[in-house]
Structure 1
Amino acid sequence: MSVSRRSLLAAGAVAFSGALGALFAGGSPASARAARAGGGYGPLLPDPRGLLDLPAGFGYRVLSRAGDPLRSGEGAVPSNCDGMAAFDAGGGRVRLVRNHENRATAALRVPAVPGLTYDPGALGGCTALDLAGDGRVTGERVALAGTAVNCAGGRTPWNTWLSCEETEDRAGTSGYDRDHGYVFEVDPARPRRTGAVPLTAMGRFAHEAVAVDPYRGVVYETEDAFVRPFGLFYRFLPHRPLGGAGSLRAGGALEALRVPGLADLAAVDEPGAEFPVEWVPVPDPSAAGTPVRHQDFGRGGITHAQKLEGCYWGGHGVHFVSSYARTGEGASADHHGQVWFYDPRRARLRLDVLFGPAADVRLPGESPDNICLAPDGGLMVCEDGGGAQYVFGVTAGGEVYPVARNAQDIGAPGAPEWGEFAGVTFSPDGRTMYVNAYTPGTTFAVTGPWRR
C-alpha cells in the first residue's frame, strides 16, 4: 500500500474517502484499538439476551424476525433479510422497505400476493414495515413478491426503492416461470402503484446495488460476479430522468464503464490514482443470448472487477465497492477491498482505498458490503466476511469505532458462527439506526446518543 491508512484519513480531500478505508479495516483488532482510543461510543457490551452487542447508553428493539407472522396476515416474515431503506411517513412515522435475498432453497418465501407477484415460482421480494412515532411496529406487509435473490438496491430521489435481483437465472431453471436478473421499483407507501414490473432497460444481470444521481437522474449499477468474466460498473440514462415513480419504465440507454488500457480494476494498487473513463453502449441489455459481461464491447474491450457490491451517492459523485479480488479465482491481483469514486462532472475514476495482504496483515479487511451515511457526517458499514460480524462507524475526521456486533450464534457446538449484517440505514431524523441480521433474519432499531 503506497500510503498509510492514517495518512489517507488525514488527507480528507474527498468526503469520506479516508474514512471508508479505516472503516473497512474492520474486525476485532480495529474494535479493540477504537475502544482503547476512546473513539466512537465506547466498547461494545455483551447483550444479556444474546442478540446484539452495543455500546453503553444504546438500546435496541427487535422490529421483526423471520418466521413470525406478518401483521398483514399474508403469511410469515420471510428469511434472509438484506438491503433496506427508511422513508419519512409523516408525523414522526417511518416506513421501512426490506429486501429478502431468497433463492429457490429459501426456508421462508415472500408470500405471493396478487398484484405484487412477478413470478409465482420465485421466493424473494420485499416487505414493508410501518413504524409509529414511538418506534412501535404498526404494520408489516408484502411490497414485492415473486422475484429472486433480492440483495441490495438503492433509494430514488422521489422516495421509492429499487430492489435488485442478484441472479441471471432464466425461466425453466430453479423452478422459475419467468426470466430473472432485473431491477424492480417499489413504492413502500403504495406498493400496488409500482406493482411487480421489471425495469428491463436497466439490464438483465446479477445486480447488487444502485445509486441515483439526484441532479441528473443517471442511475449507477453494480454487478456482483465472483467468477470470470467478472462484473461491470454500469450507468443507465433514463429517457425520463428524475421523472418520479414509474418513470424508469419508459426505458433508456445502458452503458458500461471502460477505463482505456485497464481490463481489471484489481490491478490498481495506488490509492489516489485517477483515470479518464469512457462509457460504452451495452450491445444487448436483455442478455437474450449472451450474459452482458460476456458480450463483445468492440475494440478496447471493457473493464471488469470482482465482487462489485455497495454503491451509493455522496457529494457530487458515486462511490462503489469491490469487496475482494483473488488471483486464484482469476483476478489480476489480490485485495480485500477497494473503494472507488466516480466524478461525473470530470468523467474521472479514482481509487480511494485499497486493502490487501500487503497492506497491513493485522487489519486485512473483510468484505465491505452495505453502506450508509451516519448522522455525524461519517459512515456506517456492514461486514460480510468470516468470524465475528460488525457494523462499524467512522467519523468525518477518520476515527474508527464499533457500533454493533451480531451476538446470535448460528454455528454448530464448538464452532461458533455469526451471520452478516445488511441494510444499515437511518431514520429521516437521524435518531434511529435500522439494520438487519441476515441470518437469523432479524430487523433491529437501535437508539442512543447518536451524534448529529
Structure 2
Amino acid sequence: MSLRHDDHLDIFRELTQGESAGHMDPHWSFSRRGFLKSSVAGSAALAMPFAALSGKANAVSLPYSPDYGPLAPVADEATGLPLLQLPAGFKYWSFGWTGDIMSDGRPTPAVHDGMAVVASDANKIVLVRNHEQGGTSGSFASPKVTYDAACDGGTTTLMFAPRLEQWVGAYASISGTIRNCAGGPTPWNSWITCEETSNGTHTGSAYTKQHGYCFDVPAVGAARPVPLTDMGCFSHEAVAVDPVTGIIYETEDSTPSGFYRFIPNMPGNPAAGGRLQMMRLAAAHNASITLLGTSYGYFNTGAAGMVAGMSWDVDWVDIDEPNKPFVSGTSYGGVRAQGLVQGASSIVRGEGCWYGNGVIYVCSTSGGSARQGQIFAYDPRRETFTLVFESSGASVVNNPDNIAWSPRGSLILCEDGSRSPQMLHGLTLDGTVFPFCANNMNFSASGMGSYTRPSGRVFGNNYTGSEVAGATFHNEWLFFNIQSPGVTFAVTGPWDNGAL
C-alpha cells in the first residue's frame, strides 16, 4: 500500500517541482488568458451586475440554453451508463465513487460536497474534494493529517489528466473533522476546507476537540491538521479569497447567518492569524433576535420583497472573540451573536461563495419571497452588496448551494433542494438562468437497475434527487460532485457555444 501511495504522491510533487505559485495556473480554475479576457469583458458589470444591467426586476428563466440546447441522457465514458443529462456534444467521465479504493489503498469516503481546482499544469489538474461526513466512526486518513481521531469528515485530493481525458488517482488529504461542506480555493494553491458545525466537547463526549473551524489543505504535500481559529468557530460553509488584498470572505450556513471577512496578518498565510469582521448594511432593521433576554434588531437580506438590483452600502463590525462557539446557555451562535448585537446584517443560509469578475458572489440558499434562493454580489472596491438574482420558484432554481465562476463570464449554480432531478444551472450577466445538467442516477428497478462497482459496492436506489455540489471550472473542463451515492464528474464539450 505504501509504495502505491508514495508513487502517487510523486506524481503530485512533480506538478509543482521547481515552480512557485506565481508560475502555476490561478486558483479560479482557468488560464491567465481566460481570466484577463473575462475581466475585460465583465468590467462594466462591477457596479451593476446581472439583472440590474438591463433594468430587469426578475431573471429570465429558460427551459434550456438557446446556445447549448436541450438536455438528454448521455452515456458516461467510464461506465457506459447514462448518469447525467447534458446538451448535445458534451461528454463526461465519472470517478471516485464512494467505496472505490484510492491510490493510497483507502476506500473513498462518502458524501462528496464542495470542491475546487487548486493547481495545474498543461498535463495535470489537481482538485481537493470535501466529504460532508458528520459521524464519529473515526478518521479516514493517516494520523499525520488527522485533527480529531473520533471524527470521519475531511477531504480527498484528486488528479485529472486533461490531454489523456482520464482520472489519475486520489488520496486522503485531511480527516478527523466534521461536516466538511464547502470551502474555497486560494491564490496560494490550496483549498480551505470548512466545518459546518460548532460541535465539540460541550455537545458530546465522543468528540475530543472543539469543531467549527477552517483548515488549509495544500495542493501538494501533507496538510497540517491545525484549525485556523482566528477565522472563527461557527457553522462554516464557503470561503472566497480576494487575490488583490488577500482578504478571505466567509459564509455561514445558519438562520440568521453572517457574512464575514478575515483580514490576515500575513496575506497568503491565514495560519499567522488576523482579524474577523461581520458585514453590516446601511438598511433599516426588518428582523430581530433575542439573546440572553434582550432583543436586538438587524437587517435580513433574505426577507420577502427584495428585488434584483437592490444594493446597499457596506461597513464591517469587529468580532472580538472569533473562537467563541456558543452563547452562554446554548450550544451554538457565539460568533454571529457578537455581530448581531452591533447591528450586523444577515443572509438566510449563507452557502456558496466565489471570487469572479472582481467581486465576491454569495449564495443565500433559502432566501427570497419563495425561499428558493438568492445570489448577491459584494464589491470590495465600492463596498456595496447587491442582489443580482432571486429564484421565483423551485421550477426556476431549487435552493442553490455551491456556486462557481466560469471562464466565459457566468455563474454556475448547484442545486440542493427537494425536487427531482437536481440540476446545475447557468446564470448569465444579463440575468438569464437555464438548466445545464440534470442528475440521471436512478439505479432502482424502474431506472437503470442496480450497479456494482469494482470495489463490490452495489448501488440500487434512485439518487436523482441528490444534491449537486462542488462545481469548479478549469479551461474546457467542468468538475462537480453528486453527493449521494458520492461520485465526481469531469465534463467537457462545446463551451464556447454558450455562456458557461
TM class, shorter-length: 0.7 to 0.9
TM-score under structure 1 normalisation? 0.82
Per-residue deviation, 1:299: 6.5
Does residue 404 (structure 1) correspond to residue 446 (structure 2)? The answer is no
Matches within 5 A, 1:49-448: 49-73=81-105, 75-104=106-135, 111-132=140-161, 133-171=163-201, 173=204, 175-190=206-221, 192=222, 194-226=223-255, 230-241=256-267, 243=268, 247-260=269-282, 261-262=284-285, 263=298, 264-267=300-303, 269-287=306-324, 290=327, 291-293=333-335, 295-297=337-339, 300-325=342-367, 335-356=371-392, 363=395, 365-387=397-419, 388-409=421-442, 417-427=464-474, 430-448=475-493
Amino acid at match of 1:236: F
Native 8 Å contact 1:16 1:396 kept in 2? yes
Does residue 449 (structure 1) correspond to residue 494 (structure 2)? The answer is yes
Q: Secondary structure in 2 aligned to 1:143? A: strand
Please say which of residues 199-208 and 376-385 is displaced more in the overlay: 376-385
Native 8 Å contact 2:46 2:358 kept in 1? no
Native 8 Å contact 1:319 1:342 kept in 2? yes
Q: Deviations along 1:169-202, whole A, 9 cap, x unmatched?
A: 0126272211100000000222x1x311100000
Per-residue deviation, 1:118: 0.4
Quick one: distance in 1 between partners of 2:476 and 2:168?
19
Per-residue deviation, 1:395: 4.4
Does residue 40 (structure 1) correspond to residue 76 (structure 2)? The answer is no
Quick one: distance in 2 between partners of 1:103 and 1:20?
42
Per-residue deviation, 1:283: 3.0
Native 8 Å contact 2:276 2:322 kept in 1? yes
CA, structure 1 residues 421+289, in 2 after alignment: closer, same or farther (shift >3 Å)? closer
* Structure 1, gaps ≥5 residues long: 1-10, 327-332
Quick one: distance in 1 between partners of 2:372 and 2:59?
9
Please say which of residues 370-379 and 56-65 is displaced more in the overlay: 370-379
Q: Deviations along 1:234-277, whole A, 9 cap, x unmatched?
A: 01110012x3xxx1111011011112433211236132222222
Amino acid at match of 1:66: T
* Structure 2, gaps ≥5 residues long: 1-43, 76-80, 286-297, 328-332, 448-460
Native 8 Å contact 2:51 2:59 kept in 1? no
Quick one: distance in 2 between partners of 1:367 and 1:174?
34
Please say which of residues 87-96 and 155-164 is displaced more in the overlay: 87-96
Amino acid at match of 1:389: Q
Q: Secondary structure in 1 aligned to 2:143? A: coil
Native 8 Å contact 1:16 1:378 kept in 2? no
Quick one: distance in 2 between partners of 1:140 and 1:391?
24
Native 8 Å contact 1:163 1:185 kept in 2? yes
Native 8 Å contact 2:319 2:335 kept in 1? no
CA, structure 1 residues 248+155, in 2 after alignment: closer, same or farther (shift >3 Å)? same
CA, structure 1 residues 134+383, in 2 after alignment: closer, same or farther (shift >3 Å)? same
CA, structure 1 residues 321+251, in 2 after alignment: closer, same or farther (shift >3 Å)? same
Q: Deviations along 1:385-425, whole A, 9 cap, x unmatched?
A: 12211112244455544321111137897995521110011
Native 8 Å contact 2:118 2:127 kept in 1? yes
CA, structure 1 residues 288+55, in 2 after alignment: closer, same or farther (shift >3 Å)? closer
Q: Secondary structure in 1 aligned to 2:220? A: coil
TM-score under structure 2 normalisation? 0.75
Native 8 Å contact 1:20 1:394 kept in 2? no
Quick one: distance in 2 between partners of 1:179 and 1:410?
39
Native 8 Å contact 1:213 1:219 kept in 2? yes
Amino acid at match of 2:177: T
Quick one: distance in 2 between partners of 1:410 and 1:174?
38
CA, structure 1 residues 404+20, in 2 after alignment: closer, same or farther (shift >3 Å)? farther
Amino acid at match of 1:365: V
Paired residues, what number? Answer: 410
Q: CA RMSD, aligned part only?
A: 3.0
CA, structure 1 residues 185+412, in 2 after alignment: closer, same or farther (shift >3 Å)? farther
Per-residue deviation, 1:43: 1.3
Amino acid at match of 1:42: G
Q: Secondary structure in 2 aligned to 1:201? A: helix
Native 8 Å contact 1:318 1:342 kept in 2? yes
Quick one: distance in 2 between partners of 1:425 and 1:20?
25
Per-residue deviation, 1:149: 0.3
Per-residue deviation, 1:19: 9.8
Amino acid at match of 2:492: T
Per-residue deviation, 1:158: 1.2
Amino acid at match of 1:72: D
Aligned identity (percent) is 38
Q: Deviations along 1:339-382, whole A, 9 cap, x unmatched?
A: 222222222222222334xxxx6855311111112232222211
Native 8 Å contact 1:224 1:309 kept in 2? yes
Quick one: distance in 2 between partners of 1:340 and 1:398?
12
